[in-house]
A and B are shown apart, each in its own frame.
Chain A
Amino acid sequence: MTPRLELDEVTVRFGDSAGGRDAIGAALQDVSVTVEAGAVMAVLGSSGSGKSTMLRVIAGLTVPTTGRVLLDGVDVVSVPTHRRGVGMMFQDHVLFPHLDVMGNVTFGLRVRGDDRRAAASRGEEMLESVGLGGFGVRAVSSLSGGERQRVALARALAPSPRVLLLDEPMGSLDRVLREQLVDELSDTLTSLSMTAVYVTHDHTEAERIAHDLVVLDRGRVVQQGAPAAVAAAPVDDHVARLMGVARHR
C-alpha cells in the first residue's frame, strides 16, 4: 500500500517576486491538502496558479519556504529528490533524448543498482503493461505523442515509487487520445492503489481520474472536495469557469 500524503501549511516564495511568477514557477501560500493512501487527487487551476509548484514541492525539486510535506506522517522536506521515492510524469513527457525506450524505462532501476538483465526484464514487463511490448529498442524520437506518454508512465512506475505525481501528462495530446489514455491511466493507478496527484487545467480529466479535487488560484487553495461536489457548488465564478459550469446565483 502506498502512503498517505499531506501538505501542511506549505508556502513558497521566490526572491523578491513573492506572489508573482519567475523562471521557476508560481508561488504558494499556506497550502494544506491531504491525499489518502491509494487515492488520486486532482489539482485544478489556470496557468500561474501554483499547481506545478505544488508538485515540485512534493517531489523535492523546490524547497518550500515554510511548511511540511508528510508521507505517512513523516516529514520529508529535508530528504533530497533522489531519495524521496516519488515518481513524476512531466508535461511534454521529457523523455531522455539520448536513450532508447528501454533505456528510459530502466533508468531508475539502473541508477539504484539493478543489474542490466534484471532491469531489462522489469522494463519489458512495464512496457507490456502500458501496451508497448517490444518497443524497447525504438528511439524516443520515433514515438507518437501517445506512445511517448505511455513510455513516460512506464518510466515513472518502473522503480515502484511511493507516490506518483502527474503534471498535465495529457497536455500535448488530442482529445480522443486523451480520453482513452485518462481511462487507462485511471485503471492502472487503481490496480496499483497508487497515491497520486494529478495536475491539470481540464476539469473533465479531473472528474474522470480523481477521488478528490483541489482548486488552486494564485497560490491558494480556493476549494476542495469531490469533483462532482465542486462542480455542483463552485465557490466563485473563477472555479465555476474552471469546472465548465455556470454558477447558480
Chain B
Amino acid sequence: MVAAAPPLLFLAVFFVWPVATIIERGLHPDGAWDLSVFADVATDPSIRRVLWFTVWQAVASTVVCVLIGLPGAAMFARFRFRGRAVLWSALLVPFVLPTVVVGVALLGLIGPGGVLGVDLSGTVWAILIGHVFFNYAVVVRTVGATWMTVDPRVEEAARTLGASTWTTFRRVTLPLLRPALAAASSIVFLFSFTSFGIVLLLGGTAHRTVEVEIYQQTARLLNLDVAAVLALLQLVLVVAVLWWFGRSQHRRAVALEQRRAEESQRPAVGWQARTFVAGNLVVIGALLGAPLVVLAVRAFSTPDGWGLGAFRSLGDTRRGSTAYVPPVDAVRNSLQFAAMATVLALVLGACAAWAIAGGGGRVPRWSRFADTALMVPLGTSAVTVGFGFLLTFDRAPFDLRSSVWIVPIAHAVVALPFVVRLLVPAVRAIDPRLHEAAAVLGASPGRVRRSIDAPILGRAIAGAAGFAFAVSLGEFGATAFLARPARPTLPIAVYRALGRPGEWSFAQAMALSVILMVLTVAVMLLIDRLRPPGVAEF
C-alpha cells in the first residue's frame, strides 16, 4: 500500500494536474464553463477531417503492421536459421529509435531527393511506411514470443484430426495468439493514433493527426479551447482502447504450457519453408534495414564529398547567430536528462510494480485498475503533457520552467508505464515457494529479499532502466515545448538542423540522428541481453 503512494502522487502532480489545467484553461476560461467549443470543434470541417484522418490512418497502420508482422512472428517462432538471435534483438532498433531519427531516415529514402527517386513525403503513404517501420517489431516480438510458447504438437493434433494447415491456423493457432495479438494491435493503434514526430516530418501540411493539430492549435494559433477539447477526446479514446485491451487480456488468458523455445523450432527444410524465411528476411531488410542504411550513408556524404565533415561540424560554435548552440552540446544534455529521468522512473516504477504485483504478499484488489491507470500516460499525447507542464508549472512554488528538472520529469511521466510494464511480470514471476524454501533454510525476511528477490529482479530492473533511458533519449513531443532554447536535446537539435537552410544542415541532421541511433541501439542491445526470460515484451 505504502509503496503505491509515491508513484500515484507523482502522476497526480505531473500528469493529472497538467492535463486538468489544459482542460480548465480551455473550457473554463473566465471563471465559467464554456462548452460551446465542443460544438465548434464538432462542426469545424477541418478538425473533423483531422479526427477522421487520425482514426483511419491508425487503423490502416495497425492492419498493415499485423499483416506484415504475423508471418515474421511465425518465422521467429518456428524456424531456426543463422543470425536468428541477432536479428531478434536488432528488430527492436526501429521501435526504440526516436521519431525524429525515423522521420529523417525515411526522408533520406522516400523524401525529396531520396535514394529511391520517388518523393512520397506529404502523402499518407509516407506516414503509413513510417508507422509500419516503427511498429513492425511490436507485432513480431509480442506475437512471436507467445507463438514460441505454443506447443507445435497442438497444431499437429489439429492436423491429425483433419484440419488443413489454414484451418489449423484459423481454429487453433490464431485463438491461442489472440491475447498477444490484442496487446500488439492496441499498442500499434495507440502509437499510430498519437503519432507526432512522424506525421510532423513526413505528413507535410495536408495530413495532420490530432496530436499534430493540438500542437498547431496551441503553439501556433494559441487556441487553447480547441486544443483542450482535442486533448480530451484523445484521452477518452486512449482510455477506451486500454480498457478494451485489459479486458481482452483477462478474458482470453489461456494458460499455455510453457515450452522451451528451442523445442518448437526447426531448420527451414524444403522449398516452402525456405521461401517463407527468405520472404520475411527480404521484408525486414527492405522495411527496416534500408532506411537506416540510407541514414548512415547520407551522414557521411557531405557537400564536400565523403567523410566525417558533418560530424566534425557538430562542435562548430562559429555560426554567427547568438541563438546557435553547437549540436554536440545536445548530446551532453540528452545524456544528462536521460540519466535523471531514468532514476526517477525507476524508483517510482519499482514502487508501483511492487504494489501492483503484490510483492509484499497478497495481490491487492485494485491492482488491475492501477495496472490500467498507469498505462494511460503511454497513450496520452506527449504534446499534451508538455503543454500542460508549461501552463501548470509557471508559478511559485511550482515554477519549474527554468528548472533543469522539467524535462527529466516529463520524460519520467512518459517512461513510467514502460518501466511498470516490465517490472510487474518480474515481481509476479517470483515463486512464493522460493521464499518458503529460503525461510526453511534459515533466511530471515530481510535476507530473503536480499538473496532471492534482488538477484531475480536485478535483470528486470536493469532492463527497465535501459528502456527508460532510451525513451528519454528519443522523446520529442513533450520536449518540443519544454526544452529551453539554450539546452536542446538530441531530437530537438535534429529538428532544428532540419529547419535550417543549407546542405550542411541536412548533413548535420543526419549525423546527429546517427549519433542518437547508435546511443539508443547500444542501450537496447545491452538490455536485451539482461532481460530475463518470460518477461513481457514490447
Q: Point out residues on A near B: beta carbons under 8 Å.
A: 15, 22-24, 59-61, 80-88, 90, 92, 94, 96-98, 107-108, 111-112, 141, 155-156, 159, 161, 165
Contact = CB atoms under 8 A, between A and B. Distances in A.
A98 B176 contact: yes
Interface stretch (B6-14, B156-164, B311-319): B156-164
30 contacts: A22-B266, A23-B262, A23-B265, A23-B266, A59-B160, A60-B159, A61-B159, A82-B161, A82-B164, A83-B162, A87-B160, A88-B156, A90-B153, A90-B156, A94-B153, A94-B154, A96-B154, A96-B157, A97-B255, A107-B158, A108-B162, A108-B163, A111-B161, A111-B162, A111-B163, A111-B167, A111-B171, A159-B161, A159-B162, A161-B160
Contact of B267 (A15, A81, A94, A107): A15
Given A98-B254, A111-B167, A24 B266 contact: yes
A155 B269 contact: no
Contact of A155 (B156, B161, B171, B176): B161
Contacts, number: 85
B364 interface: no
Given A97-B256, A112-B162, A90 B266 contact: no
Interface in B252-307: 254-257, 262-267, 269
Contacts of A90: 153, 156-157
Interface of B: 80, 151, 153-154, 156-165, 167-168, 171-172, 175-176, 254-257, 262-267, 269
Nearest to B164: A82
B35 to A, nearest CB: 46
Contacts of A96: 154, 157-158, 172
B479 to A, nearest CB: 44
A176 B178 CA distance: 39
A141 B162 CA distance: 24
Nearest to B158: A107
Contacts of A59: 156, 160
B162 to A, nearest CB: 5
Nearest to A85: B162
Contacts of B163: 82, 107-108, 111
A81 B176 contact: no
Which 9 A-B pairs give the minimum distances between C-beta atoms?
Answer: A108-B161, A88-B160, A81-B159, A111-B163, A98-B175, A94-B153, A97-B254, A94-B157, A82-B159
B269 A81 contact: no
B476 to A, nearest CB: 40
Nearest to A23: B266
A211 B401 CA distance: 87
A123 to B, nearest CB: 13
Nearest to B153: A94
A74 to B, nearest CB: 18
A161 B162 CA distance: 10
A59 B161 CA distance: 10
Nearest to B269: A15
Contacts of B80: 23
A107 B161 contact: yes
A84 to B, nearest CB: 8
B27 to A, nearest CB: 46
Contacts of B257: 92, 97
B270 to A, nearest CB: 9
B143 to A, nearest CB: 15
Contacts of A98: 172, 175-176, 254
Contacts of B156: 59, 61, 81, 88, 90, 94
Contacts of B167: 82, 111
A15 B267 CA distance: 9
B155 to A, nearest CB: 9
Contacts of B254: 97-98
Nearest to B157: A94
Contacts of A83: 162
A141 B255 contact: yes
Contacts of B168: 82
Contacts of B256: 97
A165 B269 CA distance: 26
B214 to A, nearest CB: 41
A35 B293 CA distance: 61
Contacts of A108: 161-163
A111 B151 CA distance: 20
Given A90-B156, A159-B161, 7 more contacts: A59-B156, A82-B165, A88-B157, A94-B156, A96-B154, A108-B162, A111-B163
Contacts of B269: 15
Nearest to A152: B157
Nearest to A99: B175
A98 B157 CA distance: 14
A161 B267 CA distance: 31
Contacts of B267: 15
B524 to A, nearest CB: 29
Nearest to A15: B267
Contacts of A15: 267, 269
Contacts of B255: 97, 141
B396 to A, nearest CB: 58
B432 to A, nearest CB: 20
Contacts of A23: 80, 262-266
Contacts of A84: 160
B274 to A, nearest CB: 13
B160 A86 contact: yes
Contacts of B175: 98
Nearest to A103: B171
A98 B256 CA distance: 9
Contacts of A60: 159
A58 B53 CA distance: 55
B309 to A, nearest CB: 50
Nearest to A111: B163
A60 B161 CA distance: 12
Contact of A94 (B151, B164, B165, B263): B151
A90 B160 CA distance: 11
A153 B86 CA distance: 43
Given A23-B262, A97-B254, A98-B175, A81 B160 contact: yes
A98 B146 CA distance: 14
Contacts of A81: 156, 159-160
